[in-house]
Amino acid sequence: MNPAGVARVTTGCSEAPVLRERGQREVFCGLTGIIWLHRKIQDAFFLIVGSRTCAHLMQSAAGVMIFAEPRFATAVIEERDLAGMADANEELDRVVTQLLARRPEIKLLFLVGSCPSEVIKLDLSRAAGRLNEKFAPTTRILNYSGSGIETTFTQGEDACLAALVPEMPEAPAGAPASLLVVGSLADVVEDQFRRLFDDLGIGPVGFLPPRSSTELPAVGPNTRFLMAQPYLAETRRVLEKRGAQALQAPYPFGAEGTTAWLKAAADCFGVDESRFTAVTALGRERAKRALSHYQQQLAGKSIFFFPDSQLEIPLARFLSRELSMRIAEIGTPYLHRQNLAAELDLLPDGTVLSEGQDVDRQLDRARAARPDLTVCGLGLANPLEAEGLTTKWAIELVFTPIQGYEQAGDLAELFARPLNRAARLEV
Amino acid sequence: MQLTVWTYEGPPHVGAMRIATAMEGIHYVLHAPQGDTYADLLFTMIERRDKRPPVTYTTFEARDLGTDTAEIFKNAAREAYERFQPQAMLVGASCTAELIQDDPGGLAKALALPIPVVPLELPSYQRKENWGASETFYHLVRALAGPHAPAPGSERPPRDAGRRPRCNLLGPTALGFRHRDDVAEITRLLDRLGIDVAVTAPLGATPADIARLGEADFNVVLYPEIAQTAAGWLTRTFRQPATKTVPIGFGATIDFVKEVAEIAGVDPTAVLAGAPSRLPWYSRSVDSTYLTGKRVFIFGDATHVVAAARIADKELGFKVVGLGTYSREFARDVRAAAEHYGVEALITDDYLEVEEKVAELHPELVLGTQMERHIAKRLRVPCAVISAPVHVQDFPARYSPQMGFEGANVIFDTFVHPLMMGLEEHLLGMFRGDFEFHDEVQPSHLGHGAAPAQDPTQIKEAEVEKTEIVSVAQGVTWAAEAEQELRKIPFFVRGKARRNTERFAEERGLATITVETLYDAKAHFGR
C-alpha cells in the first residue's frame, strides 16, 4: 500500500519528499540522554529542574534503579515554587548546595531544563552563572534544556554537547590541524577509532564529550570535526561558529559506513590511498566476515522504522546496502538534511521517509505493510508483538556499541535476533 | 523544591492512567508534551500488557505555547473519540499542561461528545500517583453511577431472599502489585462463602459496569489507597456497607471472612473450618525455628506494610524493628501499627532516608519495594519485595496472589526464601570448617540471587555498582588475631558480627579490636 500523501522518488533520497506528521509522538524527551551521558562523562552530575514526572521518567526509562547512586537527580518543583520566581531561584540554590555537599567530587554540574521549568521560564542560564560564582572552580555549572516541548530523545545529547562547546579551550593561533570526533561513543569504540587514526597518522584527535570534564579538547579554525552521531545539529552549529569545519561523511555503521567515515578524515588529513587501504583492510575484512553470518537471514526481509533516535536513516542505509534488507518506511523524529546529506544519497530509490509522528496513523501504515521487522520504542513493542509483528527496541540501538568495524556484526545481530527468536518459538 | 534521586510514586496522571488502562471501553485524553508518553512503557514493558494504554497525548511543543494549545487538545479529543469509539472519556492535564491552564474539562465539554466525559483535576505539584488513581476512580464512579443513585434518605430495599448476596470488588488497577491474582483468589473465596461478585472495578470493568455498582449489596475494598474514597461515597449514596479488613495474611484472611460473612449474612463456619493454608503448619514446623526473632524492616505502601508487619510478627515469629510507608495519606494507620510493634513509623518519600534507617537498624531481612531491594543489595541484607513500585519480576507468569489463604502460602515462601533455611543454617554451623563451605559458596537455594535476572528495560551496558560491607567504625582497627577469629564465624553472619563488634568498640572508645573484644561484643549483642 502506498500511503496517501507520499510520493515515490526515482533517484536517491536527497531530494525525496518527506511525509511530515504532526500528532501524538511515542518518543522519549531529551532528558533521557542523561542515562548514557552520566556514564560517559564520569565526573559530571545532571540535575534536572523539573517535576515528579521527570523523576519518574528517568527511573522508568532506565529500569528501576540500575545504579545504586546514579549521577543524576531531580529538583522537583512544588506548589510553593510556583508561587513566585524569586522563591524558585532560592530553592534551586539551596538544592544545588545540598547536592554538592553530598557529592563534593563532582567537577561539572549540569542544570537540565525540563518542560515545566521552560514553561514557568525559570532562567537556568542565569542560575548557572550565579551558582558558578559560588562553586567555581571546584565545580563548574552549566545548563541546557532536555525538555519534551523542545527536544526529542537524542537531542538532549545535542543540547548538552552544545553547552560544552563554549567551555572548550581555544586552540592557539597557527596550531596544526586537529581532528575532533563529536558525539558520545562507548569507550571501547572510542579506543578502536583512536587506534585507527593513530595508524593513519591523523592527529591530534579529540573526543567530545570527553570521559572527564577536565579533558575538553581545544577547538579553533584548524579543527576539523567528524560527527559520530547524526543528531548533533546544534553542536555542529556552535562548533562551526568557533571556526571548526565539519567533514561530510556517512555515519560509521557497517563496513561501508565506517570506511567512508574514516576516509573523510583521511582525505582531509592527506593520508595517501595505499596507507588508508592498508590500515583499514583488516577491519573491513573482519566486518564483512561478521556480517556474512547474517546475510542469509536478513536479505530480502522488510523493515519498518518508527521514529526514535535519528539514527534511523544511517541504520536503514546499512541494512539495505550491506544486508539487502527492504525498507518499508523510515520514520525519524527530525530530519536534518545537512547532517544526513551523505546518507540520503545512499538510500535506495523510492524509500518512504517520514518526519515527526502521528503514532496512530503510523501504526495503521505498519499494520498494512506487515514488515518482517519493526523498530520501535518500548511503549509500542509488546502491543505490536501481540499483533504478530516482530519488533526490535529502538533504544537498544542507542545503548549498545554499534559503530565501527568491530561492531558491525553486533549491529546486524541486533536485527537478526528477534527474527531468529520468532523462527524458533513454537508457542 | 525537593531533591530526589528516585521516587516511590509517579505523578497523579500516572495514577489516572492506571485506572484507565485497567478498564475496558474508556479513553483518557491527556494534555501533555512529548516525553510524557514514557508512561506507556510502564504498562507494556513492566506489566507486559499486550495492548497500548487507552491514552491519547496531545504532544504540544514549545512553539505552540500561547497560540493554539487549546485547539490541539480539542483536535486530539475529537480524533480519539472517532478512532477509539470509547463509552466514556477521561480528560486531564499532566504537570506541564497544568501550568498553561487550558482547562481540558471545559474544552471537552465544548466538543459535546455523545458519551460521558469525566474531567480530572489532579494537581501535579501537590499530589502523587496513588492519590491520582483514587481521585480518578472516585470521579468516574460519581459520574457514571451517580445518575442511578436512589433519592437521598431512602432506604435500601432488602435483598431478594432467593438470590445469593452480591458484592463489588473495588481497587484493583493496572500496574498493581499482584492485583490480577488477588482478584481471582478473593472471587473464589467469596464464592465458597456463597457470595457473588457483581462488578470488579476498575480492573476489567466497562463504564456500564461502573454505572451499576450501586446494585450490589456491599463493597469489598481490596486496596484502600485506590478505592476507599469511592467506597465511602458509595456507602453514603447507595447505603452499601464496605469492608475494612484487607485479606493479606492468614489471620487477616480469617478476619476478612468473618467480616464479610457478617455483612452478607452468611455462615463462615465451613470456609473457616477448612481454611486451606499451609502457613500455620509451616510456621510451626521445627524447620522454622530459626526464624524466631529475625529482625525485619518493612517499607512500602500502607496496605502492604501493615499486613506484612502483622504476618511477620504474629505468623512468622519475626521481630519488627522498623516500619514505614511513602503513602502519606495513610500515615495515621501506619503510625498506629508501628506503635503496636513498639517502633516509630518512618513516613517519607525520600529513599535516601529509608536507606539510612536500614543501615542504622541493620535488620536481618528487609521487606520493601524495588527501592528497598536495591538498598538491601547494597547493604547485603536479604530482601523480599512486598509492594509497588514494581519491576517486571513482580508480574510473574505463575499464579501468585498476596490475598486470601493461597496468598498466605505465597507470602510464607516470599518472606522466608531470601533467608537461610533452618537445616542449612545448622549444617553451616556444624561444618563450617569443611572445605566445601567457604565465603564464596552461596547457599544452594540462593543460586539465582547471585545473578539477578535482567530487566528488559535496563540498559545493557549498565554495570551494577559494587559495594563493600559498610564498616560503621572509623579509626577502629582489627588485631590480626581478632581478624583471624572473625573469619571462623560463618560468612552469612560475619558482616553483622563485624559491624556489631566495630560499633561495640567504637561506643567504648577502643582503638583496637582484640579477640576479647569480639567475644565481648558477641555476648553483648547476643539474643
Secondary structure, 3-state, A202-233:
CCCEEEECCCCHHHCCCECCCEEEEECCCCCH
Stretch B316-345: mean pLDDT = 97
Would you state the cell numbers that stand for residue A75, as one nine-digit string? Answer: 529538583
Name the residue among A99, A360, A377 with its Cβ closest to that of B3.
A99
Q: Is residue A161 part of a domain?
A: no
The pLDDT value given to residue A227: 97
Contacting B residues, span 57-76, partner chain A, CB-CB under 8 Å = 57-62, 65, 76
Q: Is residue A347 part of a domain?
A: yes
User: pLDDT at residue B471 above 80?
Assistant: no
Give the pLDDT band (50/70/90) at residue B276: confident
**Inter-chain CB proximity B3 and A92 less than 8 Å:** no
Is B423 annotated as contributing to ligand binding?
yes
The total number of structural domains in chain A stands at 3
Q: Is residue A372 part of a domain?
A: yes
> Within this chain, do residues A119 and A225 fall inside the same structural domain, yes or no?
no
CATH code of the domain covering residue A244? 3.40.50.1980
Give the pLDDT band (50/70/90) at residue B463: very low
Hey, of B13, B30, B38, which one would you mutate to test binding to chain A, going by the most A CBs within 10 A of its CB?
B38
**Inter-chain CB proximity B2 and A76 less than 8 Å:** yes
**B218 - beta bridge partners?**
B167
CB atoms within 10 A of CB A219: 24
Give the pLDDT band (50/70/90) at residue A9: very low
- Residue B56: in which H helix or E strand, if any? strand B55-57
Rounded Cα gap, residues A386 and A362, in angstroms? 17
Hey, of A31, A46, A48, A66, which one would you mutate to test binding to chain B, going by the most B CBs within 10 A of its CB?
A66
**Inter-chain CB proximity B125 and A77 less than 8 Å:** yes
Give the pLDDT band (50/70/90) at residue B429: low
Contacts of A61 in chain B (CB under 8 A): 38, 41, 457
Stretch B104-114: mean pLDDT = 96
- Min Cα distance A211 → chain B (Å) is 16
Name the residue among A23, A60, A95 with its Cβ closest to that of B38.
A60
Judge if ipTM > 0.90: yes
The pLDDT value given to residue A12: 67
The 10s digit of each residue's pLDDT in B112-128 is 999 999 999 999 999 99
Contacting B residues, span 316-375, partner chain A, CB-CB under 8 Å = 370-371, 374
pTM assigned to the model: 0.90
Rounded Cα gap, residues A279 and A189, in angstroms? 17
Contacts of B6 in chain A (CB under 8 A): 55, 59, 64-65
> Within this chain, do residues A300 and A410 fall inside the same structural domain, yes or no?
yes
User: pLDDT at residue B442 above 60?
Assistant: no
Q: What are phi and psi of B266, to 5 degrees?
A: -120, 165
Instruction: Return the exposure string of A332-361: e unless at least 16 CB atoms fall within 10 Å of the residue's CB, then b.
Output: bbbbbeebbebbbebbeebbbbbbbbbbbb
Angstrom CA distances, B248 to B232, B275, B448, stand at 21, 14, 27
Minimum CA–CA partner of B377 in chain A: A68
Cell 488497577 belongs to residue: B173
> Within this chain, do residues A208 and A247 fall inside the same structural domain, yes or no?
yes
Contact B29, B161 (CB under 8 A): no
Give the pLDDT band (50/70/90) at residue B437: low
User: pLDDT at residue B465 above 50?
Assistant: no
Give the pLDDT band (50/70/90) at residue A165: very high
User: pLDDT at residue B445 above 70?
Assistant: no
User: pLDDT at residue A259 above 90?
Assistant: yes
Is A268 annotated as contributing to ligand binding?
no
Cis check for the bond before B202: say yes or no (omega within 30 of 0): yes
**Inter-chain CB proximity A399 and B461 less than 8 Å:** yes
Helix (H, G, I), strand (E, B) or coil at B27: strand
The 10s digit of each residue's pLDDT in A380-395 is 999 999 999 999 999 9
The 10s digit of each residue's pLDDT in B510-519 is 999 999 999 8
Looking at A243, A274, A305, which one is the last position of a domain? A274
Minimum CA–CA partner of B101 in chain A: A119
Name the residue among B14, B36, B99 with its Cβ closest to that of A148.
B36
User: pLDDT at residue A278 above 70?
Assistant: yes
Position with higher pLDDT, B487 vs B247: B247
> Within this chain, do residues A268 and A297 fall inside the same structural domain, yes or no?
no
Name the residue among B3, B35, B370 with its Cβ closest to that of A57.
B35
Q: Is residue A250 part of a domain?
A: yes
Stretch B127-131: mean pLDDT = 97
Q: Is B181 a catalytic residue?
A: no
Distance from chain centroid for Cα B400: 14
**Inter-chain CB proximity A39 and B461 less than 8 Å:** yes
| Pairing of the two strands B2-4 and B26-31 | unpaired
CB atoms within 10 A of CB A31: 30
Q: Is residue A157 part of a domain?
A: no
Give the pLDDT band (50/70/90) at residue A6: very low
Q: Is residue A83 part of a domain?
A: yes
> Within this chain, do residues A291 and A422 fall inside the same structural domain, yes or no?
yes
CA angle B1, B6, B7 (to 5 degrees): 75
Would you state the cell numbers that stand for residue B409, as one nine-digit string? Answer: 502460602
> Within this chain, do residues A293 and A418 fall inside the same structural domain, yes or no?
yes
> Within this chain, do residues A291 and A418 fall inside the same structural domain, yes or no?
yes
User: pLDDT at residue A292 above 70?
Assistant: yes
**Inter-chain CB proximity A52 and B124 less than 8 Å:** yes
Output the average pLDDT for chain A.
Answer: 93
Rounded Cα gap, residues B390 and B8, in angstroms? 10
From B103, B255, B287, B455, the catalytic residue: B287
Give the pLDDT band (50/70/90) at residue A176: very high
Looking at A134, A151, A168, which one is the last position of a domain? A151
Maximum separation of any 2 CA atoms in chain A, in Å: 68
Give the pLDDT band (50/70/90) at residue A13: confident
Q: Is residue A165 part of a domain?
A: no
Would you state the cell numbers that stand for residue B103, as one nine-digit string? Answer: 482547562
The 10s digit of each residue's pLDDT in B28-64 is 999 999 999 999 999 999 999 999 999 999 999 998 9
Looking at A81, A116, A151, which one is the last position of a domain? A151
User: pLDDT at residue B252 above 80?
Assistant: yes
User: pLDDT at residue B173 above 50?
Assistant: yes
The pLDDT value given to residue A10: 42
> Within this chain, do residues A206 and A125 fall inside the same structural domain, yes or no?
no
- Min Cα distance A354 → chain B (Å) is 17
Q: Is residue A39 part of a domain?
A: yes
> Within this chain, do residues A291 and A314 fall inside the same structural domain, yes or no?
yes
User: What torsion do the CA atoms of A365, A369, A371, A375 make, to the nearest 10 degrees?
Assistant: -10
> Within this chain, do residues A52 and A140 fall inside the same structural domain, yes or no?
yes
Host domain of residue A182: 178-274
Instruction: Out of A82-96, A409-423, B222-236, pick the least confident.
Output: A82-96
> Within this chain, do residues A317 and A266 fall inside the same structural domain, yes or no?
no
Give the burial class of A281: count Cβ atoms within 10 A of its Cβ; 0-12 exposed, 13-18 middle, 19 or more buried: exposed
Q: What share of chain A is helix, strand, coil (3-state, %, to 5)?
A: 50, 15, 35
> Within this chain, do residues A298 and A223 fall inside the same structural domain, yes or no?
no
Cis check for the bond before A418: say yes or no (omega within 30 of 0): no
Cell 484472611 belongs to residue: B253
Give the pLDDT band (50/70/90) at residue B458: very low
User: pLDDT at residue B198 above 90?
Assistant: yes
Give the burial class of A237: count Cβ atoms within 10 A of its Cβ; 0-12 exposed, 13-18 middle, 19 or more buried: middle
